[in-house]
Amino acid sequence: KIMMAAFLTAFVGAFLFSIFPHYLMFLVSLFLMGCGMAMLQVAINPLLRVAGGEENFAFNSVLAQLVFGGASFIAPMFLTYLVTSIVVPAGQDNIIKNVFTKIIPENIPWISLYWVFAIICLVMILLIAFSVFPQVERKEDEKAGTWAVHKTLFRQKTVILFFIGIFAYVGTEQGVSYWLSKFLNSYHGYDTLTVGASIVGWFWGMMSIGCLIGLLLLKLFDSRRVLVGAVILAVTFLSLALFGSGKTALIAFPMVGFSLSVMWSIVFSLALNSVESHHGSFAGILCTAIIGGALMQIFIGWLGDMFGLRVSMCLIYLTLGYIFSIGLWAKPIINNETISIKKKKSISAELS
């Protein structure tokens, strides 16, 4: 029900802006679509943890992150395809142009993507409505609790520390992806709409590739070790991007995305696997920390106005440092299942 409500909320947001493409409606649309996606994360993460097994949660989360990164890589290309298909000269009509020119203003062809969003959300609502899900008995600790439950959670040091961890990760991800295009323009003269946009796409594309490698690593090593290694890589590539040449930055920024790919999934899974109860409420608290992405962008821009963008983006070193610390102090009740752990279980079962 929550997933259907989430897609319905996103559908309403996309559809409203599709038929009323004005600035005020754009803000309303953005808010509704953001709410829908946040609702999905709150509902899906605990469900994924139960459905796939607690010991496989980190692996399955990275797999989900792979899909996220792949979609983020494809989306800008798909938008370009839609726009270029719509704005072709007269006499060069095609199916896409014939469909969308009847329902969108001539001067804003990118509105077509919102129609696509609306259709996707509607399809997902229908798929969920007519799908047969396994019967899962939800425990009390998997349900979103009362305000008293949330207050109890906020009294726990572990909850606060992981809240900051999610805040730091999303702030890092958005701080880099949002400002890299402006950085390349300011310090190396690259055009934001061509080279900058391309590197943003590759940032998300490399995140998808990183997820593939992360899936393998999480079957071989403890997730905390993978997290520490990922942070070291991210710091290295961020340094090359900020202080290297223009050509180096073009390669290093996407590689930062590659390094960040497994962090969200590992931090989130470590968090949920570090508490014994109220995982539904805890997931909601963690998803609230996504606001770090908005605040980090503002802080970087504010500091950039005073000291320059290169200096302000060094703020990301602090968030990466905190994520690094998680790999050192996290003590999950249930560790991610690796090949060695699986072998030990198999041997124990045979002996018993």
pTM: 0.72
Sequence-distant (6+) residues with CB within 8 A of 272 are: 45, 46, 49, 57, 279, 282, 283, 286
Helix and strand numbers, DSSP H then E, in the chain: 16, 0
Residue 54 is predicted with a pLDDT of: 67
What type of residue sits at position 238?
L
Return the structure tokens found at 38. Answer: 């946040």
Q: Which range, of 39-48, 152-161, 296-305, 342-351, averages the lowest pLDDT?
A: 342-351
With cut-offs at 50, 70 and 90, classify the pLDDT of residue 340. low
With cut-offs at 50, 70 and 90, classify the pLDDT of residue 91. low
Buried b (16+ CB within 10 A) or exposed e, 180-208: bbbbbbebeebebeebbebbbbbbbbbbb
CB 262 within 8 A of CB 221: no
Higher pLDDT, 20 or 46: 20
Higher pLDDT, 161 or 110: 161
With cut-offs at 50, 70 and 90, classify the pLDDT of residue 226. very high
Report pLDDT digits (tens) over 177-186. Answer: 999 999 999 9
Residue 351 is predicted with a pLDDT of: 46
CB 212 within 8 A of CB 223: no
Instruction: Pick from 62-66, 132-136, 155-159, 241-245 the range whose average pLDDT is largest.
Output: 241-245
Handedness of CA 218, 334, 276, 137 (dihedral sign): positive
Instruction: Please identify which residue in the block is written with the tokens 């080279």.
Output: 195
Report pLDDT digits (tens) over 139-195. Answer: 554 455 566 676 777 778 888 999 999 999 999 999 999 999 999 999 999 987 678
Max CA distance (Å), the chain:
76
Sequence-distant (6+) residues with CB within 8 A of 78 are: 113, 116
When pLDDT is averaged across residues 191-207 and rounded to a whole number, the result is 83
Residue 352 is predicted with a pLDDT of: 55
Residue 102 is predicted with a pLDDT of: 75
Cα 169 to Cα 171: distance, rounded to the nearest angstrom: 5
Look at residue 88 and tell me whether its pLDDT is greater than 70: no
Return the structure tokens found at 226. Answer: 């993978």
Instruction: Please identify which residue in the block is written with the tokens 């606060």.
Output: 160
When pLDDT is averaged across residues 257-261 and rounded to a whole number, the result is 93
- Rg of the chain taking only CA atoms, in angstroms: 22
Cα 288 to Cα 297: distance, rounded to the nearest angstrom: 16
Consecutive H or E run containing 262: none
